[in-house]
Chains A and B, each alone.
Chain A
Amino acid sequence: MNDRIIVEDVSKFYGEILGVNRVNLSIPPGITSLVGPNGSGKTTLMNLMTGLIRPTRGKISVLGCETNDPEKLFKFVGYSTQFDALPKGLTGMQFVQSYLRLTGLDAEAAEQLAMQAIERVGLTEAAHRNIAGYSKGMRQRIRLAQALAHNPKVLILDEPLNGLDPLARSEMIAMFQWAAGQGYYVIISSHILHEVDMISDQVVLMSNGYVVAEGSIQSVRSEIREHPTQILIRCNRPRELAAMLMSSKDTIEVSIHNDENGLLLKTRSADDFYLTLNKLAMNGIEVESLAPADDDVLSVYEYLIGSEEVVR
């Protein structure tokens, strides 16, 4: 398949140390988040996808291109790494422009594209300042500018929101969403789970070098059978509803809200619950709203990996 990023049975060992093991992924367009604690293999996987390291076993292709062919690969892939070092003695503009010159653009076109990319990351004013004087957030943004300057179809961004202020963060997220809307592949790694939850089309949960779950957050959540689904129900007669729900064999726990206008249901089968909704209406219970309470990355992450490294 030439329209996906395919990771086939990939393992990477650094001597005795495991980087990632037996990873299989098929990444479609949209925003894909790699989520996992430190050392879970997110950066290793990104480095493998961009050919900076080679797999010990297995193979990777990015939209049909092998990762050991940088000449083709980086025509449509942009990678913003987590390495904080930047070339010395260059301005932000020169840094982005020099990279574009390597893609074969002439000086004028490179300057134009570099300025566009710098504008997109909000660094226009500092474009002609020496990188050595940039703050951490500015360095992060200039790396992002470099990664997206040649308008790549695939953007791989390692912790792209690190060090950014809230405004820049929301601008970046808007940009990722715009890129995903255009059919681009945006792969990000992050610890900031609520942001990942907000923007991701699919997630890849990683732990100790293994992929523990992948897919859309909802589908990952529904596959976790051993954990009950939590559903938040706002209604006019929560106590009657609670009594009805307790009669179901799938119901594990029901707790009524303090304001007496809703309840939290823990059930083994969310699907069965949704099928009984019609009966509720017939009994005169008016349901104001229904919302899954743990159908987010944070909950899935906690179920699968634990909560030690979660940043809320």
Chain B
Amino acid sequence: MKKTFLARRGLWIYFLALLPVLLFVLYSIANSYQMRQSSIVARQGEKQLTFQDLRSIQPGMTTDDVIAMLGKPPVRFHWQEHRGQGPDGAITISHEQYRYSDGVNDLYVTATEGRVENVHLQEGYNLERDSTVFAGVFQFFFLRLAVFFGCLGIFMNLFRGEILDRSLHFYFLAPIRREVLMAGKFIAGLLATCVIFVTSELLQNVAFLWHLSPAVRDIYLYHNHGLANAVVYLGVTALACVGYGSFFLVAGMLFKNPILPTAGILIWEALNPFLPALLKQFSVIYYLKALCPVDIPAPPGMPPLLALLISNPKPVSPPLAIIGLLIVAAIALYASSLQVRRMEINYTTE
């Protein structure tokens, strides 16, 4: 276990696991800063504004209307633009930008020549948007890169690392069946990856929720499926470790060079949406995507083929996804057990 957790050639995995945590910590810090700025702006305003007040401003209104409705803007920029060289000389156009806030949400109003041209309402809390962002980071960075490469680093090294250290024979000289040895090593790898990545996922959730006010946090956790989603994410992370771990365990036994199987599995996983239904089932991401609690909508205008990468048009039900993934992992482990029986100690050829 110690060797699996603290292998020198695997320390980069901790960095990979902590990267999304860092991302959400920065996200929370940025949001907290934004909140503080919003509340300063709100305090500086003439009126105590509500979200509805902010939403009432529309393009085409005059700046006088805006000031009448929301009061003198606490933050105002204005600049003049000189255009063209007509017979009467240059035309000067006056631009203004106002910022209002209700303490949480910010309204940016851009006006030209006293008329509102553009309105941008930046919501401080948008739980739907935030949970989609979280889901995106989880699916596209955490699962497909961090857990994938983390499992590669740990499971490929379970046997390959021993061969490189020329210490595999010590295990093979023990009075235990090689299949048992393989199972033991798999469990050690699984414990290591689960501890590392489930902890990372937990910390990501904490970092993600940190900037929310207690009231909003309660709404998110208990009324917006936040808590249930967090638990599902932890479970999906653990299942990803099982799935990718079993793939990389067998790859580590079959290949001397990790680049080939890694590229192969990566391409196979990426091509999953385009594969025929039967072949899809021999992929880990197919089941993991079906288990993810939040769907990521494809951005408008995205080509349908690319949109397939994001959405899962015919997802399997969660129980079937769990069973399917466990079956795929069991097949990979069975292949590993056959391979471990055939393995020979021949360090000179490594």
Binding site for B on A (CB under 8 A): 14, 47, 50-54, 68, 70-75, 79, 81, 83-89, 99, 102-104, 146
Contacts and interface: CB of A to CB of B under 8 A. Distances in A.
Contact of B167 (A51, A52, A72, A87): A87
B78 interface: no
A113 to B, nearest CB: 14
A74 B175 contact: yes
Given A14-B346, A53-B346, A71 B177 contact: yes
A87 B170 contact: yes
Interface string B101-129: 00000000000000000000000000000
A142 to B, nearest CB: 12
Chain A facing B: main interface SS: loop
Contact of B349 (A14, A81, A84, A99): A14
Interface in B156-178: 165-167, 169-170, 172-178
Given A68-B341, A89-B2, A83 B347 contact: yes
B341 to A, nearest CB: 7
B160 to A, nearest CB: 15
A81 B175 contact: no
B306 interface: no
B344 interface: yes
Given A14-B346, A53-B346, A85 B174 contact: no
Interface residues of B, number: 21
A84 B169 CA distance: 11
B330 to A, nearest CB: 23
Given A52-B345, A54-B344, A85 B175 contact: no
Contacts of B174: 70, 74, 99, 102-103
16 contacts: A51-B172, A52-B173, A52-B344, A53-B346, A54-B342, A54-B344, A68-B341, A70-B178, A74-B175, A83-B169, A85-B165, A85-B166, A87-B170, A89-B2, A99-B173, A103-B175
A103 B174 CA distance: 7
Nearest to A101: B174
Contacts of B3: 87-89
Contacts of A72: 175
B344 A71 contact: no
Contacts of A70: 172-178
A177 B3 CA distance: 38
A69 to B, nearest CB: 8
Contacts of B165: 85, 88
The 9 closest A-B pairs by CB, nearest first: A85-B166, A74-B175, A102-B174, A52-B345, A53-B344, A75-B175, A71-B177, A103-B175, A83-B166
A86 B168 CA distance: 10
Residue picked from A70, A86, A103, A104, most chain B C-beta under 10 Å:
A70
Contacts of B170: 87, 99, 146
A73 B165 CA distance: 25
Contacts of B178: 70
Interface string B314-350: 0000000000000000000000000001101111010
Contacts of A73: 175
B343 to A, nearest CB: 9
B340 to A, nearest CB: 11
Contacts of A87: 3, 167, 170
Contacts of A86: 167
A81 B346 contact: no
Given A72-B175, A75-B175, A85-B167, A53 B345 contact: yes
A47 B167 CA distance: 14
